[in-house]
Amino acid sequence: MDNQRRKFLGTMGALTAGAMLAGNHFAFAADKSPIKVGVLHSLSGTMAISESALKDVALMTFDQINASGGVMGRMIEPVVVDPASNWPLFAEKARQLLTKDKVAVVFGCWTSVSRKSVLPVFEELNGLLFYPVQYEGEELSQNVFYTGAAPNQQAIPAVEYLMSKDGGGAKRFFLLGTDYVYPRTTNKILRAFLKSKGVKEADIAEVYTPFGHSDYQTIVANIKKFAGGGKTTVISTINGDSNVPFYKELGNQGLKATDVPVMAFSVAEQELAGMDTKPLVGHLAAWNYFESVKSPVNTAFVKMWKDYVKKKGLKDFPVTDDPMEATYVGIHMWKQAVEKAHSDAVDKVRIAMAGQTFKAPSGFTLEMDKTNHHLHKPVMIGEIRADGQFNVVWKTPKTIRAQPWSPYIAGNEGKQKL
CB atoms within 10 A of CB 306: 13
pLDDT in tens, 186-201: 999 999 999 999 999 9
User: Largest alpha-carbon pair distance within the chain?
Assistant: 87
| 10: confidence class by pLDDT, cuts 50, 70, 90 | low
Q: What is the dihedral of CA 352, 355, 356, 359, to 10 degrees?
A: 180
pLDDT in tens, 265-276: 999 999 999 899
Mean pLDDT of all residues in 275-284: 94
pLDDT in tens, 26-36: 566 678 899 99
φ, ψ for residue 267, nearest 5 deg:
-120, 120
Amino acid at 301: F
pLDDT for residue 25: 58
pLDDT in tens, 347-384: 999 999 999 999 999 999 999 999 999 999 999 999 99
Whole-number average pLDDT of the chain: 93
**Which residues does 255 contact at the CB level (< 8 Å), separation at least 6?**
220, 223, 224
Question: Which sign does the torsion angle of CA 41, 43, 46, 47 carry?
Answer: positive
Question: Which sign does the torsion angle of CA 300, 287, 137, 222 carry?
Answer: negative
| 55: confidence class by pLDDT, cuts 50, 70, 90 | very high
In this predicted structure, the answer to whether residue 24 has a pLDDT above a threshold of 80 is no
Beta bridge partners of 208: 177
Mean pLDDT of all residues in 140-167: 97
In this predicted structure, the answer to whether residue 308 has a pLDDT above a threshold of 80 is yes
Question: Which sign does the torsion angle of CA 394, 398, 402, 407 carry?
Answer: negative
φ, ψ for residue 19, nearest 5 deg:
-65, -40
- Say how far residue 97 (Cα) sits from the centre of its chain: 21
pLDDT for residue 297: 98
Question: Which sign does the torsion angle of CA 400, 41, 58, 93 carry?
Answer: positive
In this predicted structure, the answer to whether residue 117 has a pLDDT above a threshold of 50 is yes
